[in-house]
């Protein structure tokens, strides 16, 4: 847990494009900033994997994560684990994760996560996988996630 | 769930549900504090902003941070008592019991191999703790997903875990029995994910000492540090056997791996909730009602644990839980396998005389018998099974001018649940499943769960109407639903009242409810609290006459 490898990415071209098209509304518009992206080492290929990250919306307008694509899994889905008041923890797919302007959403164990269903290969420690996040307004953002045990 | 009786764990695992000390959870957001002026229902305004707020609220469910500063004592059991039994089957197919690990501390938890988030997180934390203290302790992963996890699956899964791990599986009955003993709850939940169904479950990690006593319970999200510190303490109390065996189960004779004849060794006969006799039975129904015929759904297996597939007939009879006196005749159970399902269920319509503990005796056409305890609920004034559903019109999204929030407080509404009214279904002679549940006004831990479960059934039964009804009167204020009253005594709306909810037996705090109504408008099943999807699926299949084997 100690050494979080920060593998992140600000897509300059995207940021510029966004700034151009939304400059009237938000002169300080930046980008979707994704940090601490990681995926857990998988239990072989039959069981789904999970990827986590922190997303900060610096675009100046409310946006939402609406999709994830990756070569690492045939069916990546955005899921959320929630715990009810009785302590039951359950997981369900979500269609979107809203991120207010200036807000940060953390995908973390026990909360939101990218479920990597039908892995195309085993996720082995110290490797990386590429994820393409799709935001409703900011469009696509490429992310590299480190694979590690926990 | 305030009124619904729940089975007590064998050993009072006091505090196991949530020994979490007060601080870690993020402070809940008081929605009403954000509300300034009352704007009547129907004003659309900032719906989208409201959705953002709700999603942010949902985030408060994520795991608490910074448990590293906690002392091991924060997780200790106040009273040290023998650990509940864990008599299941290990990854090599051999019978397992905690006794086989005597002398060693054991970290154990319940999960399932298809779990991508919670269980691997716990595996990781437990692994860190094991690694920190070195040889001696063992870890036990018990699957609560008997449909997918058998001996072979556990064996394959363990390849990726620390060698101190043991993986347990067992029959659905054996798993449920073990979990009940530990106060562990779980339910299959359909999510519509490409990954198949999910299992919701409690996710505590238990620590058993070398004398087989339950010493600590760590809630999900606890760091490895306090677990490791507690392990060190137990190792100091009782040094483990000096020569660790090559495998943790080396003492079990190899022959015991063969299928054992006779009653399953994984079942402790004296355990409440356990079947007895040479048929093993598990009640699937999440609500069984007294006072008139109520459908009771069973899964039945033979003595070897092989599920009956419907070629064998089953009759069921209600008897006294205390002296076995029959309380009704033998009733033939219908064997049914809903489309696409592989498991066969048996459904018997039983008239249980009064609420409380009863036993159901099953007799197979082969002559084998078994029995299973059941707790019958008091229907109060709720619409009886077998009676016509009340003639009410639940509001549809079209009735309210398309304002989804006026008919459902789901943050991401599935409007397929709000297109048809109960009155429309009745007029069309269409069966319907009415889900009375609220996401915004959580008066019970089960709130919202009936809705998420029913969304899966929507895709399975396209010619059945699935209808969501919010139970309470509320307004929409700046795009947020605001209860017209106190959450401790929420005002039921007329439609919900029409179903007899809100009497002294079932207060407005007992939510959610599901009523399954056939094409003739007759209530065929009803449920309260946590409802399994297999439950409603079987009843709908029965109404539709699909998948009936005998």
Give pTM, 2 decimals.
Answer: 0.49
Q: What is the pLDDT of residue B248?
A: 36
B11 pLDDT higher than 80: no
Mean pLDDT, residues B513-521: 97
Both tokens of A106, joined, read 């953390």
- Residues of B with Cβ-Cβ distance to A106 under 8 angstroms: 62
Q: What is the pLDDT of residue A14?
A: 36
Query: Residue B335 in contact with residue B307, Cβ under 8 Å?
Result: no
Give CA B351 to chain center in angstroms: 25
Q: Which pLDDT band holds residue B305 (cuts at 50, 70, 90)?
A: low
Query: Residue B168 in contact with residue B155, Cβ under 8 Å?
Result: no
CB contact under 8 A, A81 and B118: yes
Paired sense of beta strands B432-436 and B465-469, if any: parallel
Mean pLDDT, residues B435-448: 85
CB contact under 8 A, A79 and B63: no
Q: Residue B277: count other Cβ atoms within 10 Å of its Cβ.
A: 18
- Residues of B with Cβ-Cβ distance to A113 under 8 angstroms: 116-117
Chain B interface, best mutation among A61, A85, A88, A122, by max B CB count within 10 A? A88
Q: For chain B, what is the radius of gyration of the CA atoms?
A: 25
Q: Which pLDDT band holds residue B299 (cuts at 50, 70, 90)?
A: confident
Q: Which pLDDT band holds residue B542 (cuts at 50, 70, 90)?
A: very high
Higher pLDDT, B191 or A115: A115
User: What is the tens place of the pLDDT at every residue in A7-28?
Assistant: 333 333 333 333 333 333 333 4
DSSP letter (8 states) at residue A142: E
Q: Which pLDDT band holds residue B55 (cuts at 50, 70, 90)?
A: very low
DSSP letter (8 states) at residue B43: -
CB contact under 8 A, B62 and A100: no
Measured between CB atoms, does B155 come within 8 Å of chain A? no
Question: Mean pLDDT lowest for which of A134-138, B221-225, B237-241, B298-302?
Answer: B237-241
Question: What residues pair up with B276 in beta bridges, in sequence order?
Answer: B371
Measured between CB atoms, does A19 come within 8 Å of chain B? no
Q: Which pLDDT band holds residue B277 (cuts at 50, 70, 90)?
A: low
Percent residues over pLDDT 70 in chain B: 79
User: What is the tens place of the pLDDT at every residue in A55-96?
Assistant: 999 999 999 999 999 999 999 999 999 887 777 898 889 999
Higher pLDDT, B282 or B464: B464
B373 pLDDT higher than 90: no
- Residues of B with Cβ-Cβ distance to A97 under 8 angstroms: 55
Q: Residue A115: count other Cβ atoms within 10 Å of its Cβ.
A: 26
DSSP letter (8 states) at residue B307: B
DSSP letter (8 states) at residue B330: -
Query: Residue A113 in contact with residue A39, Cβ under 8 Å?
Result: no
C-alpha–C-alpha distance, residues B239 and B135, integer Å: 11
Burial of B343 (0-12, 13-18, 19+ CB in 10 A): middle
User: What is the tens place of the pLDDT at every residue in B69-109?
Assistant: 578 888 998 888 899 999 999 988 889 999 999 889 999 99
**Residue that the structure tokens 């033998």 belong to:** B330
Both tokens of B536, joined, read 């409603």
Q: What is the pLDDT of residue B38?
A: 33
Cβ pairs bridging A and B (under 8 Å): 157
Q: Which pLDDT band holds residue B273 (cuts at 50, 70, 90)?
A: very low
C-alpha–C-alpha distance, residues A57 and A8, integer Å: 14
Measured between CB atoms, does B159 come within 8 Å of chain A? yes
């Amino acid at each position: 847990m100690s050494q979080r490898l920060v593998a992140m990415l600000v897509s300059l071209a995207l940021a510029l494009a966004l700034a151009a098209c939304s400059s009237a509304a938000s002169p300080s518009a930046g980008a979707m900033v994704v940090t601490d992206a990681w995926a857990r080492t998988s239990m072989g290929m039959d069981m789904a994997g999970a990827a986590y990250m922190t997303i900060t919306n610096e675009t100046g307008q409310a946006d939402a994560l609406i999709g994830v694509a990756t070569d690492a899994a045939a069916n990546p889905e955005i899921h959320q684990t929630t715990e009810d008041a009785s302590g039951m923890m359950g997981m369900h797919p979500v269609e979107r994760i809203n991120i207010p302007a200036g807000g940060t959403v953390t995908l973390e164990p026990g909360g939101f996560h990218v479920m990597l269903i039908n892995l195309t290969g085993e996720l082995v420690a110290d490797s990386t996988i590429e994820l393409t996040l799709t935001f409703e307004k900011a469009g696509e953002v490429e992310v590299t996630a480190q694979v590690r045990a926990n | 769930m305030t009124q619904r009786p729940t089975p007590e764990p064998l050993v009072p695992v006091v505090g196991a549900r949530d020994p979490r000390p007060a601080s870690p959870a993020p402070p809940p957001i008081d929605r009403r504090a954000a509300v300034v002026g009352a704007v009547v229902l129907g004003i659309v305004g900032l719906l989208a902003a409201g959705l953002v707020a709700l999603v942010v609220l949902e985030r408060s469910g994520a795991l608490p941070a910074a448990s590293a500063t906690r002392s091991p004592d924060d997780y200790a059991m106040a009273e040290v008592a023998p650990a509940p039994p864990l008599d299941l089957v290990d990854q090599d197919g051999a019978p397992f019991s905690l006794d086989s690990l005597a002398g060693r501390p054991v970290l154990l938890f319940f999960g399932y191999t298809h779990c991508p988030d919670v269980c691997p997180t716990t595996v990781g934390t437990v692994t860190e703790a094991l690694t920190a203290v070195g040889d001696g302790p063992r870890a036990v992963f018990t699957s609560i997903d008997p449909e997918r996890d058998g001996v072979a699956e556990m064996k394959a899964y363990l390849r990726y875990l620390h060698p101190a791990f043991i993986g347990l599986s067992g029959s659905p009955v054996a798993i449920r029995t073990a979990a009940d003993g530990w106060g562990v709850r779980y339910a299959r939940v359909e999510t519509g994910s490409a990954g198949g169904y999910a299992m919701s479950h409690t996710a505590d990690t238990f620590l058993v000492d070398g004398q087989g006593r339950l010493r600590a319970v760590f809630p999900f999200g606890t760091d490895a540090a306090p677990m490791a510190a507690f392990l060190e303490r137990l190792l100091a109390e009782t040094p483990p056997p000096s020569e660790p065996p090559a495998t943790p189960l080396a003492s079990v004779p190899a022959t015991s791996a063969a299928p054992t004849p006779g009653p399953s060794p994984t079942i402790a006969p004296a355990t409440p909730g356990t079947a007895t006799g040479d048929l093993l039975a598990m009640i699937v129904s999440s609500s069984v009602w007294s006072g008139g015929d109520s459908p009771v759904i069973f899964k039945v297996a033979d003595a070897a644990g092989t599920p009956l597939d419907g070629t064998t007939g089953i009759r069921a009879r209600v008897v006294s839980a205390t002296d076995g006196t029959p309380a009704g005749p033998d009733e033939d159970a219908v064997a049914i396998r809903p489309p696409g399902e592989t498991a066969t269920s048996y459904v018997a319509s039983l008239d249980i005389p009064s609420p409380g503990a009863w036993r159901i005796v099953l007799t197979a056409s082969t002559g084998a018998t078994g029995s299973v305890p059941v707790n019958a609920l008091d229907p109060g004034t709720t619409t009886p099974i077998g009676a016509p559903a009340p003639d009410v019109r639940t509001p549809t999204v079209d009735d309210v001018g398309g304002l989804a929030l006026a008919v459902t407080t789901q943050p991401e509404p599935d409007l397929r649940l709000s297109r048809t009214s109960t009155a429309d279904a009745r007029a069309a002679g269409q069966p319907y499943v009415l889900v009375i549940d609220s996401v915004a006004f959580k008066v019970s831990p089960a709130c919202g769960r009936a809705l998420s479960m029913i969304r899966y059934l929507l895709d399975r039964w396209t010619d059945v109407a699935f209808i969501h009804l919010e139970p309470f009167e509320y307004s929409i204020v700046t795009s947020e639903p605001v209860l017209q009253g106190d959450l401790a005594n929420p005002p039921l709306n007329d439609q919900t009242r029409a179903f007899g909810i809100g009497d002294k037996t079932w207060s407005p705090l007992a939510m959610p409810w599901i009523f399954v109504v056939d094409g003739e408008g007759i209530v065929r099943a009803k449920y309260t609290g946590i409802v399994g999807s297999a439950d409603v699926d079987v009843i709908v299949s029965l109404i539709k006459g699909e998948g009936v084997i005998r």
